Amino acid sequence: MNLPFSGYYYLTEEGKNEFRKAGLNLLYNEKQEAYFYISQIDFSFLFGLAKNFYLKKVVLLSSALLENRTEWSHLVRDLTYILFDKEVKEETDRVFSQYGFNASKISKEEIESFSMNYQETREEFKKMLLFDTYTIVEDSKEIKDKDEKKKVLSDFIESISEKHWYFLYVSARTEEKISIMEEMYQKLVKLLYIVNIADYLALLIMELAQNAEKAHYEWIAKNEFQQMEQTESFIRQKENRQKIKEKIEEKEIYLEISILWEQIDDKHKLKISILNKGKIQEEKQEEVKNKIEVRTERKPLADLFHNPDQELGAGLGLFYISYIKEECEKQFLEFSSFIEMKEEEVEVSFEITL
């Protein structure tokens, strides 16, 4: 899907090497980071780069977020899936390794013979692993988009290599088979619940986008159109919003969404930030900081985000980030959120670490 957002793509060393092999020219900033610029974002292209871990950061520029906020939220959800999937795969590799798995000791001929003669056995192993997790998906009221969640689980199982299945069926002793299957089941359950957290993060990015755009448009209305009063009613008018968008593009005063991937030792981190023009009144700043850490009653996250009584003004809204943090803690994930208030800008960030 092509969307009218421009963006800067910053590459990892692996990504840089792949682009060089393809003969593509890259740009370099003062930090000698390799990057390229695209005037129109293709989300499938962005997703493909992220899935292959060719990206370390992308900065997306837009004059409007709400028109495509569903796509934004899906992008955040899918990028989070990538992070979770990679982490659980590495954990699965560690499970096999502790029972003596060594891919280099399994020959190509052994794999070909196994694939030809034991396909039904391998499929039975897959069904056994998926059966109980599918039951959790069906029975849980908390889990939405059930078919989609089943596909995530199925895709994960399908990504397990033939050498792993060979080791499980041929090399592992009976008691080791049982232990490996039990531990793999636990990894699937973990994947299921942390993927559910990705849905919460997608809701959060929708809220962030809505409030960032409102604050940004109010700032443009005041500073470019001298609408010092009744700015909210001004930006609600369709023709005025179009004028604001044109002014943003003319002066390149874009809303920015940045997505950063990091690996520190054995931990993976995803950080997402939204930067908009505008500022929070001084008397509201402490309130914003305090309410970010407020613990909330147990209720559906969507209800919390869309409570009309929870409004802080200045376009930031009230983020029930502590709710998501509690869900992450249950799965031993680290979740942090930040607000940086500059003189004429507000940047809201959240990061999740596995």
Q: What's the full length of the chain, in residues?
A: 354
By DSSP bridging, strand 345-353 and strand 27-28 are unpaired
Cα–Cα distance list, 350 to 37, 46, 201 (Å):
25, 20, 9
Question: Which uninterrupted H or E stretch holds 38?
Answer: strand 34-38
Instruction: Report yes or no: 321 and 339 within 8 Å, Cβ to Cβ.
Output: no
Show the CA angle centred on residue 306, arms to residues 303 and 310, nearest 5°.
105
Residues linked to residue 263 through DSSP beta bridges, in sequence order: 268
Instruction: Tell me which residue of 249, 276, 217, 208 sits closest to 72, measured CA to CA.
Output: 208
Instruction: Report yes or no: 38 and 24 within 8 Å, Cβ to Cβ.
Output: no
> What pLDDT is recorded for position 280?
57
Instruction: Report yes or no: 137 and 146 within 8 Å, Cβ to Cβ.
Output: yes
> What pLDDT is recorded for position 109?
93
pTM, two decimal places: 0.79
C-alpha–C-alpha distance, residues 117 and 266, integer Å: 37
> What pLDDT is recorded for position 285?
55
Q: Which two tokens stand for residue 87?
A: 């982490």
Q: Which two tokens stand for residue 246?
A: 């044109």
Indicate the DSSP class of residue 65.
S
Q: Which two tokens stand for residue 291?
A: 């309410």
What are the mean pLDDT values of the chain's consecutive 10-residue runs (354 residues total)? 78 92 89 90 81 89 84 79 81 91 92 89 89 91 85 89 92 93 91 82 80 90 87 90 93 92 82 84 54 42 40 39 78 82 83 85
